[in-house]
Each structure stands twice: as structure tokens, then as C-alpha cells.
Amino acid sequence: MVFMQSFPRVLGALLASGLLLLAAGCGTSGSGAAAPQPGQLSIVAAFYPFQYVAERVAGPHAAVTNLTQPGAEPHDLELSPRQIADLARADLVIYEKTFQPAVDEAVEQSGAGEVLETGTVVPLQPIATEHGGDDHDHEHDQGGTEEGGADEGAAGPADEHDHGGLDPHVWLDPDHVAGIADAVADRLAEIDPDHAADYAANAERLRADLTELDQEFDSGLKSCERSEFITNHAAFGYLARKYGLTQIAISGLTPDTEPSPARIAAIHSEAREHKITTIFYETLVSPAVAEAVAGDLGLKTDVLDPIEGITPDSRGKDYLEVMRANLTALRTANGCQ
């Protein structure tokens, strides 16, 4: 079989990817607290999307610390005693339960007072099995679904960090980011009522930017040759659901999950069936597996960024710019008009 001949290439890519991830995992402690100036609040965000929201909403009235270093994979975050102490001292902590188990535990241990757990604002959705925008079921090898399930041998939610069968990547839907921004503004207004009007105005400006982004995605993905896209990490379920796309993931919700031979064979079949042109990978994870799959099929590779962190390699300096780069990549890969 062609697949059996090509699998050694994919296996070699998995080994190389694992080594790179192991090396990266050695540096996952956070960057420490940004010292607030007199009169400023101290906000601790678990990882980049919440840092972005906090900085936009708080403006000059707060110093925002990101627990996850730029370039580190946030799922694998380990916290130092100093960072746990920073949580206890913060005026506000923003995080999402289940996404980073170390943060969940640290929030409980630290006794942090003011905490915004974003799942109370945007409830997490189950890992769906339906088409991104269709009502009918679409089977992908018994659970190796577009929304991030996994077949036998490709670890799914039960085999990864315990997401409880829920997809944590809510920030890839701009509407959800706007909802979190409003919640941050409300919480900051309670903590610092003297600047409540500023927080509300900043959240409204961010909402306007996110509405514009949403409209760009809606119009940009409305007329395409295909709705399916293949990515190495099942991070794009909310984006797919929002804009009528179908995510087909090589791995599950955790990006370093190794796909089984059966899953790789299924991906080959999906790519041919849907006339896929591009296999997507992301900036914080080795592209080796995506490149191996693309090489087997004679396809291109490109970046689709789940925006879990911003690095010098990111296609933009902030959330809005990277989301627009994602839109360009999807439009190119899917032949959109």
C-alpha cells in the first residue's frame, strides 16, 4: 500500500516533533510579574488571548502579566512558586478551567481573591461531530472528527489533559472574545469604580474591532470551493462552527498528540475526497507531521494559528492581526472568492 510505504516518513516526523516538543517543554515557566506602577491594578492572565483582552480593557490602569512565556506551549505550562505567589497578590486573575491544569491548581492553592474564570462567561462546547455549518452528521473514521475527536490510536480528550470532552479554544470566535471583554470590564469596574467608565469604553472599542473582524471572516469565507480544512491540532472547532467550515484534525485537542497509522491513513483519504490543497500547522508546534502528510500527498503547507501565544514568528503582533492572517490562509487554501 502507498500509505505503508510512506508511513516511515510520518513516523520519523513524529519522532523529530517529539524531540522538539521535549526541548521546548524545558522552558515553560512563566515570565514573572510586571510590577504595577502607583495607582495601577495588577492583572494576571493565564495565557495570551486573555492578556490581550485585559490590556485592551484595562488600558493604562493596570499592569498585565502573562503566566505563559512567548513561544511556550500553554497546555504544558508549569508554574514557579513566585508565579503562584503573584496569583495571590493580583487584583484580578483571568483563566479558563481545564485548559491549563497547573493554573487550575495554582488558583486554588494561592487563595486568589478576584478571579474571572472565562467558562462562566462563555460555556465550553462539547467536541462536536457535525459539519461546521451543516445539520447532518459527517463521520470521520469513528470519531476522528473535524471538531477534534480521535480514532483508535490517536489520543482524544480522555487521553490528553482532562478537558472533560470540551473544546477550550473559545477565543477563535470573535463574539466570545467580545463577551469576555465585557466581563473583564464589569469585574474591573467593581474593583476600581473610579475608572469604570474607562473600562466600559475600552471594552466597547474592542467589541467594535471584533465586530469588524467577524464581518471580514463572514464575507471572506462565504463563497469558497471547499469548506473543509486539515490542521494538525483540533483547535479550530469554534471558528469552524461560526463560519460554516469543517475542521479535520490530524491530532486531538493537545497539539503534541501522536496520530496513529489509522488516523494518518484517514487523513490521506479525507484530503483526496475533499480536494484539499493545504495541510495546516501552527507556530508553537513542530510542523514535521504536517509536512510529512503534505509531502505524501503532494500538497502545500501553511500556518493556521490558534493564537495561544504570540512570538516573533507569528503573522502579526496581536490577536486581530493574526486572526486576519488566518483568514487569508483559509481563503487561499479553500479557493474563496
pLDDT tens across the length of the chain (337 residues): 444 444 444 444 444 444 333 333 333 334 444 677 888 999 999 999 999 999 999 999 999 999 999 888 898 899 998 899 889 999 999 999 999 999 999 998 888 889 999 999 999 998 754 333 333 333 333 333 443 333 333 334 333 444 568 999 999 999 999 999 999 999 999 999 999 999 999 999 999 999 999 999 999 999 999 999 999 989 999 999 999 999 999 987 767 778 899 999 999 999 999 999 999 999 888 899 999 999 999 999 999 999 999 999 999 999 999 999 999 999 999 999 9
In a domain, 6, yes or no: no
pTM, to two decimals: 0.82
Residues 193 and 282 in one domain: no
59: left (phi over 0), alpha (psi -120 to 50) or beta: left
Same domain for 263 and 311: yes
Taking the C-alpha atoms of residue 146 and residue 126, their distance in angstroms, rounded to an integer, is 13
Cell of 281: 500547522
In a domain, 7, yes or no: no
- Residue 50 and residue 191 in one domain: yes
Whether residue 83 is contained in a domain is answered as yes
Query: Does the residue 326 lie in any domain?
Result: yes
Distances (CA, A) of 191 to 50, 111, 203: 18, 17, 16
CATH number of the domain to which 267 belongs: 3.40.50.1980
Q: 3-class secondary structure for 209-244? A: HHHHHHHHHHHHCCCCCCCEEEECCCCCHHHHHHHC
Check whether residue 206 and residue 283 sit in a common domain: no
pLDDT of residue 73: 86
Residue 251 maps to a domain? yes
∠ CA 122-125-130 to the nearest 5 degrees? 140
**CA atoms of 334 and 337, how far apart (whole Å):** 9
Domain finish residue from 153, 179, 214? 214
134 and 103 belong to one structural domain? no
Residues 38 and 129 in one domain: no
Q: Does residue 132 share a domain with residue 247?
A: yes
Domain that holds residue 183: 25-123+170-214
149 shares its domain with 101: no
Instruction: Answer whether residue 86 is part of any domain.
Output: yes
Same domain, 261 and 304: yes
Do 94 and 232 reside in the same domain of the chain?
no
Residues whose CB is less than 8 angstroms from the CB of residue 303 and which lie 6 or more positions away in sequence, other chains included = 280, 281, 282, 283, 315, 325, 329
Q: Which of 300, 298, 307 is nearest to 326 (CA)?
A: 307
Tally the domains of the chain. 2
* pLDDT at site 36: 76
The whole-number pLDDT of residue 34 equals: 61
Distance CA 281, CA 53 (A): 25
Whether 193 and 234 map to the same domain: the answer is no
Whether residues 207 and 228 fall in one domain: no
Q: Is residue 193 part of a domain?
A: yes
